[in-house]
C-alpha cells in the first residue's frame, strides 16, 4: 500500500503525530506492524510498538513493545485504562523510538483533555523519535489539532488488492489456483468493500468449484446498500425503455464511448432540495455536505449532468437507463439519508458514501442529478457538473409515439392511437396503466387522467422561460428554445 509507505516516510523523518483514516483498523494495524518489522531501526532492531483502544487499554504489538510495558509501573498501566488522554500522558514514559497506535481517536478528539494530551506529546515525541499513529474512520480533525498532526487517508482497496483475497479464499476451499487476471476480474465485483469485508463476502460466495460470481455480485450489492445514503439500482432498464430524449441519448452515447468512459453512474434525486439552505443553515449540515461533494468531485475528477425540467419527463429514467445501457454499476445517492442528528455526523456519512463511490469507480464516476428548480444551486456545484445542464421538456410528437409504444408493450395493451400535445412520459404511462387496470381502450382511459400540462401549466411555462437559451435540450439536442414546436414540426429532432 503506497499509503503505508507514506506513513513510513513520515516516521523516518521524525513526524511525531500521524492521523491515518481507514475503514479497516485491524488490517491497517497489521500492515503497519509488518512495515515497521521490515523497516526496523538503523541499528537493525525493531522499534517498540504499543497499541491502545477503549476495550483493551495498553497492549504490546511486538516483543520490544512487551519489554517496554514490563518496564512500566503497574500504576501507570492501570491509569491508562481511564481514557485516551491519560494513556497519552503515560506514553511520555515510553522508550525512545516507540510507536504508539491508538484506535478510533476520533471518538474523543474533540474533548479538551484529549486535544491537550495530543498537543503535550508533540514536542517530546519529536525529540525522541517516538510517534503517535491515530487510526480513525472519519470525521474532521479538530481545528485545534490541525497544525499539530500529519494526515494520511487509506482508501478502500481496488481490484488488484482484492484479487489476493479472492485467490486466498478460493484456493483454500477448492485447492485449485486462480489465474491472476481472473482474480482481478472477480475482485472488481468487491470494490467498495474493506479487506476484511471482501474476505467474508468471498467465503460466502465460494463453492467447491470456485467463486459463484452471481452470488458474489448479490452479496457485494448488499454491502453497498449497507452504506448510509447508497443503494444499488435494482431495476434493469436500458434505452430500449426510454422514449424520446434523443439529444440526451446521443450525447451519452458519445461520452460513454470516449476516453472518460464511466464505470459507475450515480443518480441523485432532487438535488436542490437535498442541499437547500446550504448558505443559511445555522447548523452547517447542508454546507458540510456540499463541501464534501465539491471536494470529492474536484479531487477525483468526477463530472456529470444536471437533469432539469418538467416532472415526469424522464430525468430519473435516463440515469437508470444509462447504467443499464453501458454496463455500468448504477448507484442511487440519497443525500438526505446521510443527514444525522449529531454534530459532524452528516458530513462524515456523506464522505463515507463518497469513499465507497471512489472505491467502486475510481475517477470514472458519472453523476446524473435531477431537479425541478435550479436557481438555488451554487455556481461552484454547477461547474463540477461540467457535462452540462439539460432541460427535459414534455416530449415531442415523435417522442410521445415512442413512449406510447414502449408503455403499451410493457403493460401488454393495445394503443389505439390516442395522443395529445403536452402529455409527459408519466402521463402516458399512467393512461396505459389505467387502460390495463380497467380493461378499456387508451382513449377511454384518458378520460380518467388529468395530465400535468392542465394541472400545473404555470410551473411548466415558468421552467421553460428559465431554460430558454440557457440550457441544453434533452430531446432535440443543442440549446433549448421554447419557441421550437413540441408538436408536429420536430425539424431539429436528433436521429440516433
Pair (247, 357) in one structural domain: yes
Strands, E assignment, 188-246: 206-207, 210-211, 230-232
446 occurs within a structural domain: yes
Domain finish residue from 153, 178, 212: 153
**370 forms bridges with which residues in the sheet?**
307
Pair (382, 313) in one structural domain: yes
Pair (285, 357) in one structural domain: yes
Pair (278, 206) in one structural domain: no
129 occurs within a structural domain: yes
CATH number of 32's domain: 3.40.50.300
10 occurs within a structural domain: yes
User: Along the 496 residues of the chain, how does pLDDT read in single tens digits?
Assistant: 589 999 999 998 999 999 999 988 999 999 999 888 765 554 456 899 999 999 999 999 999 999 999 999 999 999 999 999 999 999 999 999 999 999 999 999 999 999 999 999 999 999 999 999 999 987 788 999 999 999 998 888 888 888 888 888 888 888 888 888 888 888 888 888 888 888 888 888 888 888 888 888 888 888 888 889 999 988 788 999 998 899 999 999 999 999 889 999 999 999 988 887 665 554 557 778 888 899 999 999 999 999 998 788 889 999 999 999 998 999 999 998 888 766 567 878 888 899 889 988 889 999 999 988 887 788 899 899 999 999 999 888 988 999 999 999 999 999 999 999 889 899 999 999 999 999 999 999 999 999 888 877 887 888 889 899 999 999 999 999 987 655 444 444 444 4
Give the cell for residue 486. 413540441
Structural domains counted in the chain: 4
Pair (306, 347) in one structural domain: yes
Closest CA to 53 of 121, 106, 112, 111: 106
Pair (10, 146) in one structural domain: yes
Give yes or no for a contact between 26 and 196, defined as CB atoms under 8 angstroms apart.
Answer: yes
Q: What is the pLDDT of residue 490?
A: 45
469 occurs within a structural domain: no
Residue with cell 461547474: 383
* Secondary structure of residue 9 in the 3-state scheme: helix
* 284-316: burial string, b at 16+ Cβ within 10 Å, e else: ebbbbbbbbbeebbeebebbbbbbbbbebbbbb
Pair (211, 180) in one structural domain: yes
What spatial distance separates the first Cα and last Cα of the chain, rounded to whole Å? 45
Domain finish residue from 351, 369, 392: 392
Q: Is the pTM of this model over 0.85?
A: no
Pair (12, 95) in one structural domain: yes
474 occurs within a structural domain: no
402 occurs within a structural domain: yes
Q: How far, in Å, CA of 274 to CA of 285, rounded?
A: 11
Residue with cell 498532526: 149
Pair (246, 338) in one structural domain: yes
Pair (297, 373) in one structural domain: yes
Closest CA to 411 of 431, 436, 447: 436
489 occurs within a structural domain: no
Closest CA to 50 of 35, 60, 40: 60
Please name the residue ranges forming H helices in 95-194.
Answer: 112-128, 159-174, 180-188
Q: How far, in Å, CA of 82 to CA of 52, rounded?
A: 11
Pair (286, 355) in one structural domain: yes
Give yes or no for a contact between 294 and 335, defined as CB atoms under 8 angstroms apart.
Answer: no
Phi/psi class of residue 245: alpha, beta or left (left: φ > 0; alpha: ψ in -120 to 50)?
left
Please give the radius of gyration of the chain, using alpha carbons only, rounded to the nearest integer. Answer: 28
Pair (118, 28) in one structural domain: yes
Give the residue numbers spanning the domain of 443. 397-455
Amino acid at each position: 500500500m503506497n499509503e503505508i509507505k507514506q506513513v513510513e516516510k513520515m516516521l523516518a523523518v521524525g513526524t511525531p503525530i500521524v492521523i491515518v483514516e481507514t475503514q479497516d483498523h485491524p488490517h491497517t494495524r497489521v500492515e503497519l506492524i509488518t512495515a515497521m518489522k521490515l523497516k526496523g531501526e538503523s541499528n537493525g532492531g525493531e522499534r517498540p510498538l504499543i497499541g491502545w483502544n477503549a476495550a483493551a487499554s495498553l497492549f504490546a504489538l511486538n516483543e520490544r513493545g512487551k519489554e517496554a510495558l514490563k518496564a512500566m509501573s503497574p500504576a501507570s498501566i492501570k491509569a491508562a485504562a481511564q481514557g485516551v488522554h491519560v494513556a497519552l500522558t503515560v506514553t511520555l514514559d515510553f522508550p525512545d523510538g516507540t510507536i504508539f497506535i491508538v484506535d478510533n481517536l476520533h471518538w474523543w478528539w474533540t474533548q479538551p483533555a484529549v486535544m491537550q494530551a495530543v498537543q503535550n506529546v508533540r514536542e517530546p515525541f519529536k525529540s525522541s523519535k517516538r510517534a503517535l499513529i491515530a487510526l480513525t474512520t472519519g470525521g474532521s480533525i479538530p481545528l485545534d489539532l490541525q497544525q499539530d498532526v500529519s494526515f494520511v487517508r487509506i482508501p478502500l482497496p481496488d481490484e488488484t488488492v482484492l484479487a489476493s483475497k479472492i485467490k486466498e479464499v478460493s484456493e483454500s476451499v477448492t485447492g485449485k489456483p486462480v489465474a491472476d487476471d481472473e482474480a482481478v476480474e472477480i475482485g472488481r465485483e468487491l470494490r467498495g468493500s474493506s479487506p476484511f469485508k471482501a474476505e467474508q463476502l468471498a467465503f460466502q460466495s465460494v463453492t467447491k468449484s470456485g467463486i459463484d460470481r452471481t452470488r458474489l455480485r448479490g452479496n457485494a450489492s448488499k454491502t453497498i446498500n449497507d452504506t448510509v445514503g447508497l443503494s444499488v439500482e435494482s431495476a434493469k432498464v436500458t434505452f430500449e425503455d426510454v422514449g424520446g430524449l434523443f439529444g440526451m441519448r446521443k450525447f451519452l452515447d458519445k461520452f460513454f464511448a470516449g476516453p472518460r468512459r464511466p464505470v459507475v453512474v450515480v443518480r441523485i434525486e432532487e438535488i436542490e432540495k437535498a442541499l437547500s439552505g446550504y448558505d443559511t443553515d445555522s447548523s452547517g449540515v447542508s454546507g458540510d455536505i456540499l463541501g464534501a461533494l465539491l471536494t470529492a468531485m474536484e479531487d477525483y475528477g468526477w463530472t456529470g449532468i444536471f437533469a432539469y425540467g418538467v416532472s415526469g419527463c424522464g430525468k430519473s429514467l435516463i440515469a437508470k437507463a444509462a447504467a443499464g445501457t453501458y454496463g455500468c454499476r448504477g448507484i442511487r445517492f440519497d443525500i438526505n439519508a446521510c443527514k444525522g442528528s449529531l454534530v459532524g455526523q452528516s458530513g462524515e456519512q456523506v464522505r463515507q458514501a463518497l469513499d465507497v463511490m471512489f472505491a467502486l469507480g475510481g475517477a470514472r464516476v458519472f453523476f446524473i442529478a435531477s431537479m425541478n428548480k435550479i436557481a438555488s444551486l451554487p455556481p461552484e456545484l454547477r461547474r463540477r457538473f461540467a457535462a452540462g445542464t439539460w432541460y427535459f421538456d414534455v416530449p415531442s410528437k415523435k417522442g410521445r409515439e415512442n413512449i406510447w409504444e414502449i408503455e403499451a408493450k410493457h403493460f401488454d395493451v393495445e394503443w389505439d392511437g390516442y395522443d395529445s400535445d403536452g402529455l409527459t412520459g408519466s402521463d402516458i404511462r399512467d393512461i396505459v396503466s389505467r387502460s390495463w387496470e380497467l380493461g378499456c381502450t387508451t382513449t377511454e382511459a384518458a378520460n380518467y387522467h388529468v395530465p400535468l400540462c392542465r394541472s400545473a401549466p404555470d410551473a411548466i411555462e415558468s421552467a421553460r422561460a428559465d431554460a430558454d437559451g440557457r440550457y441544453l435540450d434533452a430531446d432535440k439536442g443543442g440549446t433549448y428554445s421554447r419557441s421550437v414546436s413540441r408538436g408536429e414540426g420536430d425539424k431539429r429532432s436528433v436521429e440516433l
